Structure 1
């Protein structure tokens, strides 16, 4: 019996030692920021075997080949188009005299980091209800004459997903060029055969970067989280909604789904379509499906009657710049009166925390609205931890009670705003491919703030005292989840 226990002890010691060595080799063989490195070392060390399973899903970076495909596609047959557009709209690239210096500095930031075009004469329509959004989107798609480009993180095989597919099949049969790009993980359960009839009718559909299946490529990170629709190069959509019944409040778990999306007409649609083409060409690299005849997709942009200046900005793991996060920081640091934010996931890094702290302690009215219910347990507990931390620093924290808050909006002083796919968390800043609109129009910012105030009516403020009264077990889960925040 003694011998048996000695053998077991030796085996356990060997397992622990092997696990420690494997953990060190696994974590340090890939370059990543120090917070994520320590978080993964903690997981792999304290949870042998299971930690490595978690790493397989959450920790592995995309292959170098995939990153090279995205980076090379950025320049593929588009450099000339970019230069042509800059020359053609040279008068639009500089702000008018009355444009605030703050706006221009933000515009310059995105031009330098992302080649983001600044256009003035855009029409912007805000949707915060899924039924109204998809009713208008489907109407626009049904009226398409030349092209329909769609890119979503999630397109489910459910009622709304099938409705979209049917419309696209009809348009493809009419001769309209239809392309659909979707993320295999976000659209899990949807097989490539879901789009067979669309292909038979002349349309195209593909998983982002041509992932074979989640069985062979089960990385949860580095996903295509963008939401892009362009129609005839004239109408565009960008925001937080995906395509699925839950986004139309048809799933009891979430209840009413509160999100924000934009319908755009004007020169800014050029930027949306260009981003889609880059992603499409990266996915279709080495095939005859790439879009090389870009001039057909970028006809001379007619100046619309709109008055909204804006930029479309994208970011992703193919670059280390974290462009959208830097844009958020630029807006927050420029605030003089108030900062209002809506986000389903509040897991900011140190730079974002410091910026919010500085604003709050400078007397700026900082408000953040998050959901009252989780859709991802660890993520929600981490969100609660950071909400408690920021509440202690003078930030007003709202829990949205009327369903699930999924909007990703930032509003500054009633003058500038951002709406898009990026949450206020590590995943959006570092791990996923995102796209946001940055708007320099007090009229649109005011509309977004009115929506925020309407949401306040369906929310309650969570004070530091209320956080302090939480059960110890809940506070432990929040603290433990916070330790994993760089990898959630």
Structure 2
């Protein structure tokens, strides 16, 4: 009995710490809507192809390389990455690496020391601190941004590690969506990286050398960054505007009540809603946490698919071939309310059709969920679903 009360008290203190931290820092939760831009954008769905291009551009860097990832693993995939960066630092290229403290917790201190000894600047975002230790532990910088010489930018769902190039047998093929941007939009990726770097290091940089003149490209787009809240209303607004079709791809599907209601309203007015998620799970309980939402959507006429050929990690929304979102935010409460995220909204019909073709190929390698399947869940699955529902805000 004493152990039970101790556990209850500890959980209560964690809850209060997190709740008070959010209240104290809510005014610092920002959203930044960058201007509409014109850029040339390449679309990657395969880690091997992405990193072949990514490494080639890093090799050509002349002035600086700015890198922000949620996760960088210490494995056979990341080692060539670090060696390449060390070589570029020897050539005199400025290199800054920024990673999330929780996401990249496994990086050994010896590796970080070797990077710094090579002249590479390295920093963590959202390191836990007092007061409100658990609040800071719960915050994540989930952005993935790379800017090379102020002229080439990358943004999307891939991190650095063996699973992202399909080398982890537990996941197999890794499906993700990532963008390479050249043109006006790189200016905004650079701005966001420097914001995050200065916040993490408490060091202001002379920005004049990081913003070369850029030419307009062919594709209209807009970057949206947020810390904490702000994404929820953005999603509701675009869902409310849908007339024919909404396609959502996400590894996790745990929407807020307001976002869920917006989807149900769309179904009631005749909009086709399709949701694509992975069959496998990469975190405990996240798959089951989606089931209550799936049940309501299936009853309302939505189509739900589970990708079975590997792991589906892409974060995308397509609406009426008029609007497409590719970025770092998942369709879950953590991305809605806790994480720092950055998304790219695309308004070019030709590009959106390219994204839809990729989604259609992924749907062809997915199984469709039915109400009958949902009703036949085992007692174990139902139990995990109940626990997942209680924990859904923190998954």
Same fold (TM over 0.5): yes
Partner of 2:223: 312
Distance 1:453 1:142, change over 3 A: same
Deviation, 1:414, is: 1.3
Alignment of 1:352-391 (within 5 A): 352-391=259-298
Alignment of 1:52-201 (within 5 A): 60-61=17-18, 71=28, 114-119=32-37, 121-201=38-118
Deviation, 1:57, is: 7.3
Distance 1:217 1:348, change over 3 A: closer
Q: Are the aligned partners of 2:175 and 2:310 in contact in 1 as well (CA < 8 Å)?
A: yes
Partner of 1:107: none
Deviation, 1:346, is: 0.4
Gaps of 5+ in 2: none
The question of 1:281 aligning with 2:198 is answered yes
The question of 1:419 aligning with 2:329 is answered no
State the Cα deviation string for residues 216-264 of structure 1 (Å, max 9, x = none): 8796521111101000111101111111111111111112111111111
Residue 346 (structure 1) aligned to one of 253, 267, 291: 253
* Structure with the higher helix share, 1 or 2: 1
State the Cα deviation string for residues 432-472 of structure 1 (Å, max 9, x = none): 11111111111111111000100111001111122112223
Q: What do you get for the CA RMSD once the two structures are aligned?
A: 2.6
TM-score, scaled to structure 1: 0.75
Residue 339 (structure 2) aligned to one of 416, 432, 441: 432
Return the alpha-carbon distance in structure 2 between the equivalents of residues 358 and 251 of structure 1: 40
State the Cα deviation string for residues 394-440 of structure 1 (Å, max 9, x = none): 11000111111110000011121001110111100111111111111
Gaps of 5+ in 1: 1-11, 17-46, 75-112
Q: Are the aligned partners of 1:385 and 1:479 in contact in 2 as well (CA < 8 Å)?
A: no
Which has the greater radius of gyration? 1
* Structure with the higher strand share, 1 or 2: 2
Return the alpha-carbon distance in structure 2 between the equivalents of residues 258 and 482 of structure 1: 26
Q: Are the aligned partners of 2:143 and 2:340 in contact in 1 as well (CA < 8 Å)?
A: yes
TM-score, scaled to structure 2: 0.92
